[in-house]
Amino acid sequence: MSIKYQMWLTYNAEKEKIQLPVLPESFQTRNGSSNDSVDITGLGEIIIMQSRPALQFKFSSFFPAARFPGIQVSSITKPLTLIQKINTWKASKKPIHFIATACGVDLYASIEDFNYSEEGGDPGTYQYEITLKEYREITVRQVKVDIPKATATGQKQDTRVDNTGQPKTYTVKSGDCLWNIAKKYYGNGADYTKIYNANKGVIGGNPNLIYAGQVLTIP
């Protein structure tokens, strides 16, 4: 492979970087489809087109313990240091920047899976396999809704006293009798007993004797 082909993992706005010291022998890219198919009677299978799913990348290589011909970096970083850094990035649940120059990959991705092991024949060298998935930032469109403000009205609170539930009064005039008063208020003179029972303290023991000026309660 040409030295111009480089693969980088960077993190935290490029402040932390790893150039893969050994390029992978194979580089798998998964670009599937999230289209759905439904079977409609009379029409057969219908494909419903959806936006493409996130790209997924999977490759394996190794972090060497010592230099050898064809290595991509000028200086060797301890494999365990690189492994620890990748594990830290993965645990942060924040995307990394993934760059593969030869195939034009330059995007942000999440570290979905990262496995590694030390091979017995080469102490200090670690084999690894990593899976990356394209990261897409969600943009939420804000919709401004104008809510009319409640305006104070100039109406004054009605402080009038509701007299509908209060009993009426009647001032006796010359020539009045309870029969006539009952007929005036109830439409039936025979209801004079209602007025008398409500005013025994004013009238006394004889309902036929009332005097001008007496104030009677009309229940």
Interval 132-169: pLDDT, tens: 998 887 666 666 777 777 665 555 555 554 555 567 89
| 115 or 155, greater pLDDT | 115
Q: Scanning the structure block, which residue is given the tokens 């010359």?
A: 174
How is residue 13 written in tokens? 């706005």
Q: For the stretch 153-163, what's the b/e string if a residue is b when 16 or more beta carbons lie within 10 angstroms of its beta carbon? A: eeeeeeeeeee
79 conformational bin, left if phi > 0, alpha if psi -120 to 50, beta if neither: alpha
* pLDDT band, very low/low/confident/very high, at 84 (cuts 50, 70, 90): very high
40 pLDDT band (50/70/90 cuts)? very low
What rounded mean pLDDT belongs to the chain?
82
**Residue 37 DSSP label:** E
Res. 2 pLDDT band, cuts 50 70 90 = very low
The pLDDT, as a whole number, for residue 103 is 76
How far apart, in whole angstroms, are the C-alpha atoms of residue 212 and residue 34?
100
- Distance between CA atoms of residues 29 and 100, nearest Å: 12
pLDDT value, residue 155: 56
> pLDDT tens for residues 188-207?
888 899 999 999 888 888 88
**End-to-end Cα spacing for the chain:** 111
Give yes or no for residue 60 having a pLDDT over 60.
Answer: yes
Beta partners for 108? 97
Does the pLDDT of residue 10 top 90, yes or no?
Answer: yes
What per-residue confidence (pLDDT) applies to 17?
94
Backbone angles phi, psi at 82, to 5 degrees: -65, -40
Question: The pTM is what?
Answer: 0.55
Domains in the chain with CATH codes: 7-35+46-134 (2.40.30), 168-218 (3.10.350.10)
Question: For the chain, how big is the Rg over CA atoms in Å?
Answer: 48
Question: Residue 39: is its pLDDT beyond 70?
Answer: no
